[in-house]
Amino acid sequence: MDNILQLWSTSGAAQMTMGQAFMVIIGLLLLFLAIRKGFEPLLLVPIGFGGILANIPGAGLAYSAVENALHAADPATLAAMAQALGVAASDNVKDLAVAYSASGAQEHLLLQQLAQDAGYGNGMLYNFYNVAIASGVAPLVIFMGVGAMTDFGPLLANPRTLFLGAAAQFGIFATVLGAVGLSSIGLMDFSIADAAAIGIIGGADGPTAIYVASMLAPDLLGAIAVAAYSYMALVPMIQPPIMRALTTEAERKIEMVQLRPVSRREKIVFPLVLLILVALLLPAAAPLLGMFCFGNLMKECGVVDRLSDTAQNALINITTIFLGLSVGSKLVADKFLDINTLGILGLGIVAFCIGTASGVLIAKLMNRLGGSPINPLIGSAGVSAVPMAARVSNKVGLESDPHNFLLMHAMGPNVAGVIGSAVAAGVMISLVGG
């Protein structure tokens, strides 16, 4: 009989909170969007599934051994923990949790040991998160793979499009300002580090957003990653109205000069030029851009194709699986369900809109300043969201002139936006994280 009670009390149905039920539904919704609507499925399928796993009541997959021990609230264990922390009241789990997070490294180690001796272990997703994201390795490996998939040819043929990639990063910093502003008027409660991590959603680049969030605001990582990938999937809906509003029909019909051919040597040397520039100017961006350049060099140099193939396939796929599940671990109800999450979702879409507008407007400005004409529609591709944003530029352009193919021209600002976001990430880590 005791066993039946034990089984029932350990069952999910007996322990499920409203928040967990809600988050399971959110997870199912993400899976629906990914599978049925094609929202960035490679990331949102693992993230959504991980989110469901993280909210299985009683399983504690997203918690550390100590957190699991606290949740289990076994009196003897709690007493031992309270003693180790030097806290009096051992019956109040919340007080213990506060005391634990306030305590030093010594106490952390001790409580971990206590929890493990009492039979509690780290949850599966907690381990995945630590190995894949807290260490920083998964976003970097994915960035290496993305580098190995990127063709800088269009950018090299027309380097001026780098300015469009720079302009679109204004969305990031405007959003940082917005987040700080909302906090200063008391609507939200974001630190400057939180604000920086939220702003990076405007970079429209998943691995960069996850990397920055893991360093500056790990608690917000779940919401930031979900926002970043969701809005990237929504780019075909978000961008066109803004692009049409800010351009005239004549501007949208501008035909651009055909791109010159780019030699293989230029393509080999470019990642090294970029790397040296990073080394000289912004070491804080070295991990992200270094791995990106490394991947690109492996692809372009032509002598290590088996490494490049692996970076683009087995390695990036394996990493994506664990990265997605790890992000899902941050969708755990008691951390995700928060007014701040709504703020993040709202600020994220603002960031995308401002970035799009900035790119288009700077393209128009560049046309005023002279040089070969630039169709301002390619400016919106500067937010990255590779290659969706470049496709959108092409599609909106075709509406005005069915013979004006902008895809290739838009790839320049598109990959420039990846570099721009990584630079912005470096600046923010350097100024805020140090």
Partner 1 sequence: MSQGIELMLYGMGTVVLFLALLVVATTAMSRFIGRYFPEPEPPVQAALQRLHAQNKPAGDPNLVAVITAAVHQHRSNK
Residues that bind Na ion (CB under 5 A): 203-205, 384, 417, 421
Q: Answer yes or no whether residue 361 interacts with partner 1 by CB under 8 A.
A: no
Q: Answer yes or no whether residue 101 interacts with partner 1 by CB under 8 A.
A: no
Q: Answer yes or no whether residue 117 interacts with a copy of itself by CB under 8 A.
A: yes
Amino acid letter for position 333? A
Q: Answer yes or no whether residue 177 interacts with partner 1 by CB under 8 A.
A: yes
Q: How many CB atoms lie within 10 A of CB 134?
A: 16
First to last CA, the chain: 57
Measured between alpha carbons, how far is 363 from 90 in angstroms, rounded to an integer? 63
DSSP code string of 247-266 = S-HHHHTPPPPPPPP--HHH
User: x/- binding map, residues 412-431, to a copy of itself, per CB under 8 A?
Assistant: ---------------x--xx
Place of tokens 């599966």: 124
Q: Answer yes or no whether residue 17 interacts with partner 1 by CB under 8 A.
A: no
Measured between alpha carbons, how far is 404 from 399 in angstroms, rounded to an integer? 9
Using CB under 8 A as the binding rule, the residues of this chain from 279 to 298 that contact a copy of itself are: 279-284, 286-287, 290-291, 293-294, 297-298
CA-to-CA dists, residue 411 to 103, 270, 299, angstroms? 50, 16, 18
Size of the site for a copy of itself (CB under 8 A): 82
Among a copy of itself, Na ion, partner 1, none, residue 95 binds (CB under 5-8 Å by kind): none
CA-to-CA dists, residue 347 to 84, 228, 353, angstroms? 42, 11, 10
Using CB under 8 A as the binding rule, the residues of this chain from 261 to 320 that contact partner 1 are: 261-266, 269-270, 273-274, 277, 281-282, 302-307, 309, 312, 316-317, 320
| Runs of H (alpha helix) within 329-373 | 333-336, 339-369
Q: Is 276 exposed, middle or buried (0-12, 13-18, 19+ CB in 10 A)?
A: exposed
120 DSSP 8-state letter: -
Using CB under 8 A as the binding rule, the residues of this chain from 104 to 143 that contact partner 1 are: 142
Among partner 1, a copy of itself, Na ion, none, residue 24 binds (CB under 5-8 Å by kind): a copy of itself
Using CB under 8 A as the binding rule, the residues of this chain from 176 to 205 that contact a copy of itself are: none
Q: Answer yes or no whether residue 7 interacts with partner 1 by CB under 8 A.
A: yes
Min CB(416)–Na ion separation in Å: 8
Q: What is the dihedral of CA 239, 149, 270, 171, to 10 degrees?
A: 20
Q: Answer yes or no whether residue 403 interacts with a copy of itself by CB under 8 A.
A: no
Residues ≥6 apart with Cβ < 8 Å to 278 = 285, 286, 289, 290, 293, 426
404 DSSP 8-state letter: -
Among Na ion, a copy of itself, partner 1, none, residue 241 binds (CB under 5-8 Å by kind): none
Place of tokens 């299985």: 56
* Out of 303, 369, 402, 403, the residue judged to bind a copy of itself by CB under 8 A: 303
The tokens for 257 are: 């000069």
Q: How many CB atoms lie within 10 A of CB 257?
A: 12
Q: How many CB atoms lie within 10 A of CB 90?
A: 18
Which stretch, 217-225, 226-234, 318-326, 369-377, contacts a copy of itself (CB under 8 A)? 318-326
Among a copy of itself, Na ion, partner 1, none, residue 424 binds (CB under 5-8 Å by kind): partner 1
327 vs 360 by CB, closer to a copy of itself: 327
Which stretch, 1-9, 59-67, 215-223, 334-342, contacts partner 1 (CB under 8 A)? 1-9
* Out of 45, 216, 242, 411, the residue judged to bind partner 1 by CB under 8 A: 411
Which stretch, 34-42, 355-363, 380-388, 396-404, contacts a copy of itself (CB under 8 A)? 34-42
Among Na ion, a copy of itself, partner 1, none, residue 177 binds (CB under 5-8 Å by kind): partner 1
User: x/- binding map, residues 201-240, to partner 1, per CB under 8 A?
Assistant: -----xx---------------------------------
* Out of 45, 157, 174, 246, the residue judged to bind a copy of itself by CB under 8 A: 45
| Coil, strand or helix at 434 | coil
Q: Answer yes or no whether residue 151 interacts with partner 1 by CB under 8 A.
A: yes
Measured between alpha carbons, how far is 273 from 259 in angstroms, rounded to an integer? 21
Using CB under 8 A as the binding rule, the residues of this chain from 370 to 399 that contact a copy of itself are: none
